[in-house]
């Protein structure tokens, strides 16, 4: 797949987030759903921003098949709410990011990561935050994996 690199400013967002560990990539969807249910139980009137903005970041670098997967799921909301032991709120500051759009199965996301990391290296950029996998279209609204759309966003600064 050929990727087009885009550099843009990600705006400020208020997000709720949950950190955790899953055994496999197939468990991530359930982690996301349970995070949303837990946040709604504590904050029944919370509203997601329009258009929707949610993402997963991996704490052990690029996602790998071996070991447990340490991740953070974040969902942009209109305002902060009540926290509990695992659901937290924070304000993400605006940040410059190098981005690519990936169409298709999540299993081929490593190709998008390779492309974006090569661009960052070739352009003397420094990664300043964990990359974000922003889910735009997926199993929740598209019948075919071919129609899934994920944006990889890597916050950077010049070296």
Condensed to tens digits (0 to 9), the pLDDT of residues 77-131 reads 999 999 999 999 999 999 999 999 999 988 899 999 999 999 999 999 999 999 9
Q: What is the CA radius of gyration of the chain?
A: 16
CATH superfamily, region 6-158:
Regulatory factor, effector binding domain (3.20.80.10)
Give the whole-angstrom CA distance, residue 78 versus residue 23. Answer: 32
- State pTM to two decimals: 0.89
What are the backbone angles phi and psi of residue 72, rounded to the nearest 5°? Answer: -130, 130
Q: Where are the domains of the chain?
A: 6-158
Output the CA–CA distances (angstroms, integers) from residue 53 to 48, 49, 76, in the order listed.
8, 7, 5
């Amino acid at each position: 797949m050929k990727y087009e690199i885009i550099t843009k400013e990600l705006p400020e967002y208020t997000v709720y987030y949950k950190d955790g560990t899953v055994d496999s990539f197939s468990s991530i969807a359930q982690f996301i759903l349970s995070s949303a249910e837990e946040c709604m139980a504590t904050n029944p009137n919370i509203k997601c921003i329009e258009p929707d903005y949610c993402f997963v970041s991996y704490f052990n670098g690029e996602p790998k098949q071996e070991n447990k997967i340490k991740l953070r799921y974040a969902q942009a909301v209109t305002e902060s709410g009540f926290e509990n032991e695992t659901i937290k709120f924070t304000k993400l500051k605006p940040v410059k990011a190098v981005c690519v759009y990936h169409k298709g199965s999540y299993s081929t996301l490593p190709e998008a990561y390779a492309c974006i990391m090569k661009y960052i290296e070739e352009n003397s950029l420094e990664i300043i935050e964990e990359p974000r996998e922003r889910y735009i279209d997926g199993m929740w609204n598209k019948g075919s994996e071919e129609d899934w759309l994920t944006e990889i966003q890597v916050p950077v600064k010049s070296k």
